[in-house]
Structure 1
Amino acid sequence: MSDAMILNAEARKDVGKGASRRLRRADLVPAIIYGGEQEPVQVTMEGKAIRKALESEGFYSQILTLVVEGKNQQVILKDIQRHPAKEFAMHLDFMRVEASQAITTHVPLHFLNEEACKGVKDQGGAITHARVEVEVRCLPGNLPEFIEVDMADIELGGHVHLSDLKLPEGVELVALSLGEDHDLDVASVQATRATKDDEAAEGGEE
């Protein structure tokens, strides 16, 4: 697990749509922290800090540290509401995490050796990504920053399934816990139109 991102937040008492609009005009983002044995807490966060955090892949999948009135809280981002047209954050939901309690969250996939992939380099295919993240369950201390998918040996027509992924110790895929019929595609190497045309031409010559 990578070092936790640290963000500051201030507790707030004024809630509602009107209050939220006033906060956004002041470049503040309303948020809520919930979960654990504590009551939910309404907070505000600086818009500039949130915009910067949104550019980081880890903000969406890693353990975050929120500093609220001088106290650190370990959380993960559970939901983000964006403006439908401008895409900026309008509201954030954070869930508290405890070191001894397993969490369920999404982790990004990093695809390796795509240009060197056998099905692409030697057989003229193209890689199709069926998903770019997976849902995992693990203790907070075992949460990986990402999961690698090595495409080097995948041939034309080949597939990478969830069961093919190499997971860190203590991490399980939620889908696989539901049964073999949930062993979904992660990526595949498919023939391109040019490849099909070449094959058709070769067949005609024969």
Structure 2
Amino acid sequence: MATETLELEAVARERVGKGAARQVRREGRVPAVIYGGKQEAESISLNYNDVWKMYIKGQFMAKVIKLTVEGKEHLVVSRDVQVHPVKDTPIHIDFLRIAKGDRVRVHIPVKFKNENICPGLKRGGVLNIVRHDIEVWSPPASIPDVFEIDLAKVEIGESIHVSAIAMVEGVAPVIEDRDFTIATIVGRGPAGGADEEEAEGGGADATQDKDGG
């Protein structure tokens, strides 16, 4: 389970809007906003190099961050990272405050192991990944680093569903109404291939969930 808390420092931004954001970027910083926790939204900026070093390591969206704004500490998670359409670099970040008793909504990456001994793959099958990450509700202290799926006994034609993942207490998929598919082993050839699940619709808009709520 994830125990690491990332740390970033920021400064408050007095000016907002597209023009002000462009100026912040020219100064080598990333504009951002902190919201939630029944407090007013706060516009800030962060050092671009500090953000980039964390961003390229991955899991930026699945880590608790201690964000210090001019001496005041906030516990937050990244809710949205806007990236440059060409360079794929962060140009704006939305942070969500974490209050005591909250669960947070995060995307956890999926990792597959034992592909080298998977019977379905050894017989010529192909791993068709339907979901590269799973969105879950989780207490901040229990956010998983990754969901690992063992392929050691998976045959051609078999599917792996979210129910195959053992989640600790307090961690649960955002989608609760069905046992959705994460991956399948499909055969090669004209008959091979698997239809990916239909796009999800009607997902919850909430970004925080109180324990017991």
TM-score range, shorter chain: 0.7 to 0.9
How far is 1:109 from its partner? 1.0
Distance in 1, matches of 2:171 and 2:145, equals 12
Counting matched residue pairs gives 191
Once the two structures are superposed, residues 167-186 of structure 1 have per-residue CA deviations (whole angstroms, 9 ceiling, x without a partner) of 122211121x2x2xx32110
1:151-166 residue pairs with structure 2 within 5 A? 151-166=151-166
Distance in 2, matches of 1:166 and 1:151, equals 15
In terms of fraction of residues, the more helix-rich structure is 1
Does the aligned pair in 2 maintain the 1:77–1:92 contact within 8 Å? yes
How far is 1:32 from its partner? 0.1
Partner of 2:207: none
Give the counterpart letter for 2:60 in structure 1: F
Partner of 1:95: 96
1:192 to 188, 191, 195: 188
Partner of 1:150: 150
Partner SS state of residue 18, structure 1: helix
Does the aligned pair in 2 maintain the 1:148–1:166 contact within 8 Å? no
Partner of 2:71: 70
Partner of 2:108: 107
% same residue:
35
Partner SS state of residue 157, structure 1: coil
Give the counterpart letter for 2:146 in structure 1: F
Question: Where do 5+ consecutive residues of structure 1 fail to align?
Answer: 197-206
Distance in 2, matches of 1:118 and 1:7, equals 45
Partner of 1:36: 37
Once the two structures are superposed, residues 60-113 of structure 1 have per-residue CA deviations (whole angstroms, 9 ceiling, x without a partner) of 211111111112211111011111122121110000112411222211111111
How far is 1:194 from its partner? 10
How far is 1:55 from its partner? 0.8
1:60 aligns with 2:57: no
Give the counterpart letter for 2:145 in structure 1: E
Partner of 2:195: none
TM score, norm. by length of structure 1: 0.87
Distance in 1, matches of 2:24 and 2:135, equals 33
Give the counterpart letter for 1:42 in structure 2: S
Once the two structures are superposed, residues 36-72 of structure 1 have per-residue CA deviations (whole angstroms, 9 ceiling, x without a partner) of 0221110000111111111122212111111111122
Does the aligned pair in 2 maintain the 1:124–1:195 contact within 8 Å? no
Does the aligned pair in 2 maintain the 1:126–1:189 contact within 8 Å? yes
Does the aligned pair in 2 maintain the 1:30–1:43 contact within 8 Å? yes
Question: Where do 5+ consecutive residues of structure 2 fail to align?
Answer: 193-213
Deviates more, 1:88-97 or 1:134-143: 134-143
1:166-205 residue pairs with structure 2 within 5 A? 166-175=166-175, 177=176, 179=177, 182-193=178-189
TM score, norm. by length of structure 2: 0.84
Partner SS state of residue 40, structure 1: strand
Distance in 2, matches of 1:44 and 1:9, equals 6
Does the aligned pair in 2 maintain the 1:33–1:41 contact within 8 Å? yes
Distance in 1, matches of 2:37 and 2:23, equals 30
Partner SS state of residue 86, structure 2: coil
How far is 1:195 from its partner? 11
RMSD in angstroms over aligned alpha carbons? 1.7
Bigger radius of gyration, 1 or 2? 1
